[in-house]
Amino acid sequence: MKALQLKYGCNPNQAAARVYMKDGSELPFEVMNGRPGYINLLDAFNSYQLVKELKEATGLPAAASFKHVSPAGAAVATDMSDTLKKIYWVDDLKLSPLATAYACARGADRMSSYGDFVALSDVCDTETATLLKREVSDGVIAPGYTDEALAILKTKKKGKYCVLKMNASYVPQPIESKEVYGVTFEQGRNNAVITTDLFQKRPTKNKTIPEAAQRDLLIALITLKYTQSNSVCYVKDGMTIGVGAGQQSRVHCTRLAGNKADVWWLRQNPKVLALPFRDDVRRPNRDNAIDVYISDDSEDVLADGVWQDIFTEKPAELTKAEKKAWVAKLHGVALGSDAFFPFGDNIERAHRSGVDYVAQAGGSIRDDNVIETADKYNIAMAMTGLRLFHH
């Protein structure tokens, strides 16, 4: 297939939408089921690049959950604790390594992952398709599907679930272009290869970055390579736990992503794990209720006439003091930034969410202040010299 006609572009008023190859060659993907939209394909191709690079960098199956051309989450296959299985709602499923990667990618920020487009680095297996079938998702892209997995996915969304098969051997042209307001932009593709070699320059007093933390920093930087800038990413145990995308101020990226990391950690609090949900409350509604329960607006789900629709009994409040004490227990988080930190306030905020390792481009006129702030908290920081803006 050399061109694919789409229903419309970003919005219904933008007609005459299609995708095609400028050189007239075949499209590097196949539609196995459903009908992809313009935004679906933007998410699909950005996310597939991300998981492909994660697999190449770590050797592990990888998955990403994309929404509006930025990742809600990304992860590689690692051992998942029973607590994570519970808060990701997968404790009743058999999980393959690839399914585990997707459960972690989606579970990192389940609010943002609702209605996602999924990317898988490996052939989609039955376990991953089974997990996908029961989540609210718009589509998936992978290098292939087992017969059973494809059959399962074809039953989703009344047979309309979008399933794309990517040509794993496809190599894009070295020069890419796009149009904005009728003006054509052209640039070389960002073919920067992200490896642990980027972590050699460590200007902080603490220069120790363990192997697992280096893997997490790789995940952070590769994720940022496909996140709308400015962007910051928190990673722990092989999965993103907070992605801050598209903010004009870097400290706002750091705060946004840090708040998501805090929520991820607070979901593991015993009070949250023990919330007495009614059996008829669906997973997305549980996610929404948990998010409100954790927030400063918790009275919105604890008020009389409200909690009865969600819980079998009124839960005890999770107080501000309890939340602060619980978040203080979070440690070992890796933080990546797609460009330099201009001020030490980013490190101050990152420290509050358990960050012990940082990778950032460096090159600010205030690098000394950033390094000094990292030293204040014994944070090990690498300056990569590589900027990863993505627009």
Catalytic residues: 67-68, 230, 391
Tell me 334's DSSP state.
Answer: E
Q: Determine contact, residues 214/199, Cβ cutoff 8 Å.
A: yes
Calculate the dihedral angle through the C-alpha atoms of 293, 294, 296, 301, rounding to the nearest 10 degrees: 0
Residue tagged 């309309």 (tokens): 160
Q: How far apart are the C-alpha atoms of 76 and 54, rounded to whole Å? A: 7
- What are phi and psi for residue 243, nearest 5 degrees? -120, 125
Q: How far apart are the C-alpha atoms of 135 and 125, rounded to whole Å? A: 16
Residue tagged 């229903």 (tokens): 7
Q: What's the first-to-final CA gap in the chain, in angstroms?
A: 28
Residue tagged 């990317």 (tokens): 119
Q: How far apart are the C-alpha atoms of 92 and 24, rounded to whole Å? A: 48
Q: Taking phi first (over 0 means left), then psi (-120 to 50 degrees means alpha), and beta for anything else, what does residue 315 get?
A: beta
Q: How far apart are the C-alpha atoms of 30 and 163, rounded to whole Å? A: 9
**What does the chain come to in residues?**
391
Residue tagged 């481009």 (tokens): 361
3-state secondary structure 221-278: HHHHHCCCCCEEEEEECCEEEEEEECCCCHHHHHHHHHHHHHHHHHCCCHHHHCCCEC
**Cross-strand pairs, 336:** 233, 359
